[in-house]
Amino acid sequence: MLLIKGGRVIDPAGRRDEAGCLVLENGTVKDFVPGDQSPKGFEGRVIDASGKWVVPGLIDMHVHLRDPGYEWKEDIRTGTRAAAAGGFSSIACMANTKPVNDHPEVTRYIREKAEREGAAAVFPVAAVTRGLEGKEMADFAELAEAGAVAFSDDGRPVASSLMMRRALEYAKAFGLLILSHSEDAELCHGGAAHEGWTAHRLGLPGIPSAAEEVAIARDILLARQTGGKLHIQHISTKMGVDLLRMAKRAGLSVTGETAPHYFTLTDASLEGYDTNAKMNPPLRGEEDRMAILEGLIDGTIDAIATDHAPHDDYVKRCEFIAAANGIIGLETALPLSLGLLAGGKVTPGRIVELLSANPAQILALSGKGSLRKGADADVTIIDPEAEWEYRAAEVRSKSRNSPFFGWKLQGRAAATIRGGRVTHSLLAGVAADA
Amino acid sequence: MEWKRRHVLGLADFRVEEMEFVIDTARSMEEILTRDIKKVPALRGKTAVNLFFEASTRTRTSFEIAGKRLSADVVNFSSATSSVTKGETLLDTAKNIEAMKPNILILRHPASGAPHFLSRFVSCSIINAGDGANEHPSQGLLDLYTILKAKGKVSGLKIAIVGDILHSRVVRSDLHSLGRMGAKLWLCGPSTLVPKEMERTGARVTYDIREAVKDADVVMMLRIQLERQKTAYFPSLREYSRMFGLNRDVFSLAKEDAVILHPGPINRGVELSDELADSEQSRILNQVESGVAVRMALLYLLAGGHDASH
Amino acid sequence: MKKGSKKVILDAKGMERALSRLTHEILEKNKGAEDLVLVGIMSGGVPLSKFIQEKIRVIEGIAVPAGYVDITLYRDDLSRAGYQPRLKRTEIPFSIDEKKVILVDDVLFTGRTIRAAMDALIDFGRPKNIQLAVLIDRGHRELPIRADYVGRNVPTSRSETVDVMVQGSREDWKVMLNEFTPAKGE
């Protein structure tokens, strides 16, 4: 039995935003008692969440765990620890491992290892095509049986329009979802940075916005053609947001996500050829950043997902063009997302939607994303006032590729609970369960 | 003014007075090249390493001669026959060379920003001899020097640059050197190779060579690379040459005392006709001459009066 | 802050007399102006060598070729300088082969400038001989160098400086001796 008292329970899916106590038992949410008094006769562990928010466990639906195959960058153990430290009780991991997760054996390996050693629940996303090569569809049904919650070739696009069509259509029958890394690889043509004034000034080959826009348009229209379910990953362009908005207005089953760096940074961060500002899709211009903020505010963008992409020093400490793409993000996602509150247009409830309720719904993770009676006992306790500095020495991830080191952040996960067990805690007197 | 730079990575942040200082120093260096004994002991005992990851005989030879004229020891390291083919990273290669204590590293590399990156990790001076499509500062300065010698001034001149502007680091350095000194720059080429963005630098963009060359004081032609045709930047060399090559007919639109420049090597008959390449108005060989003097100036300013450890 | 007293040790008239005497000595020792060339050491030696050149024209009616040399690139103390010494210009638009070169400088001190100037001259050709004419010899030689013709010997201490002011018109020429006294507390 676990009692979380004194906090503000914010649960948009459960239609609740009020002060109260949450009671967890046997791995599920047993009860909610309004007010800040503990229920009479309670015996069990008590966590004091005064001054804090109590929200459904956060879910990051776009993480690269690098396990199996690239364990020097990250593995399931360290990746889920980083997730828990960032407030995430569940994560969905991408298929670009080695071997690629295009086979039920790999899916099972990930699930089982996560069960044994993970500090967060891990939901594998399997490949759309074998080897991510875009030529042959992977065995969707069998992968789903092994535990895959969705399909994505992320890291790469599904280049062939015909293959994308088939994938959307085939997945439809099983009610499965395609997550799309929407990019026209040929238009990228050796680019390393967003095609714009900054890339020009630095003499870097550009990746035009059109490379993403053309692909998002294609994917949306194929979803329309087939009636399949589509989720657009890491949206970085204004037109990308506009296209998603149009798709929703047309009633299509399309959802979309963006990453914290796309609403926090622009290509100005490339100054000095900083490889910690290099990712794919690239950081874009201010106009794009503003459009993404707008999309988060008006409901066009459904989720915030980090695209946590750990990389070792060797592939980042080099000349810009040769550097690998990606940054880590699990431990900074929450404070950066809380930064959205500053404009006054985003409510705490909306943030919980973006980081928990919506990802749960999109990936159909039953029992997650809300604190209704009977939901899984996944809870994140957020201290919205906590002021801290993000330091490289304190990072839980194995990798250190982040542009946010040295940033003074506000807001952080004070504690993360998964299945009733505390996986992370900064609260006095509350230790993480082994 | 006092020279304080430890590296020459690009002209982007060079003040006008710094560029003038280099040109002034180059003038003194050029005098040495007219003597019988073309050598001074200024860099005696200093070592310069040419670290070239892209083929280039011309620039490398120019730096080598410049170093030797100042009595420096010059060592050439070219990637084709080296550890790089065995997969060694740029950083490792540079650190290995740095362990042998050179005073100056002259770096040419296909990645933009490579010298800036290295400057964070090595303690010797670095001269950028061309990084990707970013900059080629010694070329920008020697073009400035050549035009000053030919025309006496740069301010107010109309300078047309024709060719693959998009991929040209020479243009980008020239925009800093010539543009900041008051020249009116016109950039011309096929629309796939001349980004509109360039107008933000103050230059004019045109896709019509006749408009660019009309009344120009200086016409600079750039080498067109065959690979660009292979990635569909333009349909064929023939069409490119017809529309953007400089011949007597087009050149007659320029001012009567206009001069022709080209960073080399020339695709004779493609971007520049034989006749014009060898004409009175061509200053292409002067560029080469100026290049040695400018590079001597840069080597002297970086290594002439300092200890290896700053 | 450096403090010190300044003293004029040679005024314009005095300089003129000294330079005229020097010119006569040069002509006497070389038995005329044949095969003579003048090379002034940048910057102080240049106006002085011009003066000597004019004087020779007046006395002998001969125009002796005069040039100037910048020794910056030949200095032996380049590595010790904390900044980049600005280059000046060298112009010797005539052959020095088999000529008697009169090197002209304003102040002879350690002798290192003269050594550098000789290195530079040797690169230009093979003179018959090199002779040195200086306006002021202030002692403290660090190399075995001596002047053939001296305008004035001025014994100095190491902390003093001798400035030959030859900018502007000849009436304003003068030679200053500056004593350097370190301020208290340094």
**Are A328 and A402 contacting, i.e. CB atoms less than 8 angstroms apart?**
yes
Q: What value does the mean pLDDT take over residues A372-378? A: 96
Listed range (A157-161, B109-113, C52-56, C180-184) with the worst mean pLDDT: C180-184
Q: Considering the domain boundaries, does residue A151 fall inside one? A: yes
Minimum Cα–Cα distance from B198: chain A residue:
A200
For tokens 């629309």, name the residue: B191
- The A residues from 273 to 302 touching B (CB cutoff 8 Å) are 273
CATH number of domain containing A263: 3.20.20.140
Q: How far apart are alpha carbons B32 and C90 in whole angstroms? A: 9
Looking at the fold, whether B120 and B253 belong to one and the same domain comes out as no
Of C82, C83, C87, nearest to B28 by CB-CB distance is C87
What is the predicted pLDDT for the residue at C184? Answer: 56
Q: How far apart are alpha carbons A253 and B50 in whole angstroms? A: 59
Looking at the fold, whether B32 and B52 belong to one and the same domain comes out as yes
Q: How far apart are alpha carbons B276 and B285 in whole angstroms? A: 13
**Are A412 and A382 contacting, i.e. CB atoms less than 8 angstroms apart?**
yes
Which tokens go with C97? 């082969």
Please determine, for residue A392, whether its predicted confidence score (pLDDT) is greater than 50.
yes
Looking at the fold, whether B172 and B96 belong to one and the same domain comes out as no
Q: Where are the alpha helices (DSSP H) in chain C?
A: 12-29, 45-60, 112-124
Cross-chain Cβ contact B305/C78 below 8 Å = yes
Q: Considering the domain boundaries, does residue A126 fall inside one? A: yes
Q: How far apart are alpha carbons B169 and B139 in whole angstroms? A: 9
**A266-316 pLDDT, tens per residue?**
999 999 999 999 999 999 999 999 999 999 999 999 999 999 999 999 999
Q: Which residues in B lie closer than 8 A to residue C82 (C-beta atoms)? A: 305
Confirm or reject contact between B174 and chain A (CB < 8 A). no
Q: Considering the domain boundaries, does residue B67 fall inside one? A: yes
For tokens 């892209």, name the residue: B54
Q: Considering the domain boundaries, does residue A263 fall inside one? A: yes
Q: How many domains does chain B have?
A: 2
pLDDT, averaged across chain A: 96
pLDDT, averaged across chain C: 90
Q: What value does the mean pLDDT take over residues C71-80? A: 78
Minimum Cα–Cα distance from B110: chain A residue:
A321
What is the predicted pLDDT for the residue at C182? Answer: 63
Which domains, ranges and CATH numbers included, belong to chain C?
A: 13-72+87-156 (3.40.50.2020)
Q: Considering the domain boundaries, does residue B6 fall inside one? A: no
Pairing between strand C100-108 and C129-137? parallel
A–C contact: 3+ Cβ pairs < 8 A: no
Record the pTM.
0.87
Which tokens go with B87? 């997969």
Which tokens go with B65? 């001669």
Q: Considering the domain boundaries, does residue A273 fall inside one? A: yes
Q: Considering the domain boundaries, does residue A148 fall inside one? A: yes
Q: Considering the domain boundaries, does residue A373 fall inside one? A: no
What is the predicted pLDDT for the residue at B57? Answer: 85
Looking at the fold, whether B143 and B263 belong to one and the same domain comes out as yes
Beta-sheet strands, E only, within A185-284: 193-194, 206-207, 229-232, 254-258
Q: Considering the domain boundaries, does residue B61 fall inside one? A: yes
Q: Mark the ranges of chain B whose per-residue pLDDT is less than 50.
A: 307-310
CATH number of domain containing B177: 3.40.50.1370
Q: How far apart are alpha carbons A192 and A195 in whole angstroms? A: 9
Q: How far apart are alpha carbons B74 and B86 in whole angstroms? A: 24
What is the predicted pLDDT for the residue at A35? Answer: 85
Q: Considering the domain boundaries, does residue B1 fall inside one? A: no
Cross-chain Cβ contact A203/B112 below 8 Å = yes
Looking at the fold, whether B130 and B151 belong to one and the same domain comes out as no
pLDDT-derived band at A88, boundaries 50, 70, 90: very high
Interacting residues of A307 by C-beta distance below 8 A, sequence separation 6+: A62, A63, A64, A233, A234, A259, A279, A326, A329
Looking at the fold, whether B128 and B154 belong to one and the same domain comes out as no
Q: How far apart are alpha carbons A147 and A115 in whole angstroms? A: 12
With CA atoms as reference, report the closest residue to A407 among A264, A236, A279, A194. A264
Q: What value does the mean pLDDT take over residues A318-344? A: 96
Of C73, C83, C125, nearest to B40 by CB-CB distance is C73
Looking at the fold, whether B163 and B203 belong to one and the same domain comes out as yes
Q: What value does the mean pLDDT take over residues A365-380? A: 97
Amino acid code (one letter) for A223: A
What is the predicted pLDDT for the residue at B308? Answer: 38
Please determine, for residue C70, whether its predicted confidence score (pLDDT) is greater than 60.
yes
**A187-229 pLDDT, tens per residue?**
998 999 999 999 999 999 999 999 999 999 999 999 999 999 9
Cross-chain Cβ contact A202/B134 below 8 Å = yes
Q: Considering the domain boundaries, does residue B308 fall inside one? A: no
> For B306, which DSSP code?
-
Q: What value does the mean pLDDT take over residues A393-422? A: 96
Residue from A48, A307, A376, A378 carrying the catalytic annotation: A307
Q: Considering the domain boundaries, does residue A391 fall inside one? A: no
How far, in whole angstroms, is CA C32 from its chain's centroid?
A: 21
Q: How far apart are alpha carbons A177 and A151 in whole angstroms? A: 6
Q: Considering the domain boundaries, does residue B11 fall inside one? A: no
What is the predicted pLDDT for the residue at A42? Answer: 79
User: B–C: how many Cβ contacts below 8 A?
Assistant: 55
Looking at the fold, whether B132 and B47 belong to one and the same domain comes out as yes
Of C84, C120, C124, nearest to B3 by CB-CB distance is C84
pLDDT-derived band at C83, boundaries 50, 70, 90: low
Looking at the fold, whether B153 and B58 belong to one and the same domain comes out as no
For tokens 């040039």, name the residue: C67
Q: How far apart are alpha carbons B63 and B108 in whole angstroms? A: 12
Task: State how far the alpha carbon of B87 is from the alpha carbons of B80, B82, B92, in Å.
Answer: 12, 10, 10
Which residue range is the domain that position A357 belongs to? Answer: 57-362
Q: How many domains does chain A have?
A: 1
pLDDT-derived band at C186, boundaries 50, 70, 90: very low
**Are A233 and A257 contacting, i.e. CB atoms less than 8 angstroms apart?**
yes
pLDDT-derived band at C5, boundaries 50, 70, 90: confident
Give ∠ CA B225-B230-B235 in degrees, rounded to 5.
90
Q: Considering the domain boundaries, does residue A247 fall inside one? A: yes
Q: What value does the mean pLDDT take over residues A37-43? A: 77
pLDDT-derived band at A129, boundaries 50, 70, 90: very high
Cross-chain Cβ contact A203/B114 below 8 Å = no
Of B31, B39, B42, nearest to C78 by CB-CB distance is B42
What is the predicted pLDDT for the residue at A356? Answer: 98
Looking at the fold, whether B234 and B95 belong to one and the same domain comes out as no
Please determine, for residue C131, whether its predicted confidence score (pLDDT) is greater than 90.
yes
Subunits with 3+ Cβ pairs within 8 Å of B are A, C
Looking at the fold, whether B71 and B146 belong to one and the same domain comes out as no
What is the predicted pLDDT for the residue at A43? Answer: 80
What is the predicted pLDDT for the residue at A308? Answer: 98
Looking at the fold, whether B88 and B153 belong to one and the same domain comes out as no
Q: What does the DSSP assignment read for A234-302? A: S--SHHHHHHHHHHHHTT-SEEEEE-HHHHH--GGGGGGG-GGG--SSPP--HHHHHHHHHHHHTTSS-
Q: Considering the domain boundaries, does residue B3 fall inside one? A: no
State yes or no: is A307 an active-site residue.
yes
- Interface confidence, given as ipTM, is 0.87
Which residue range is the domain that position B23 belongs to? Answer: 16-136+289-303
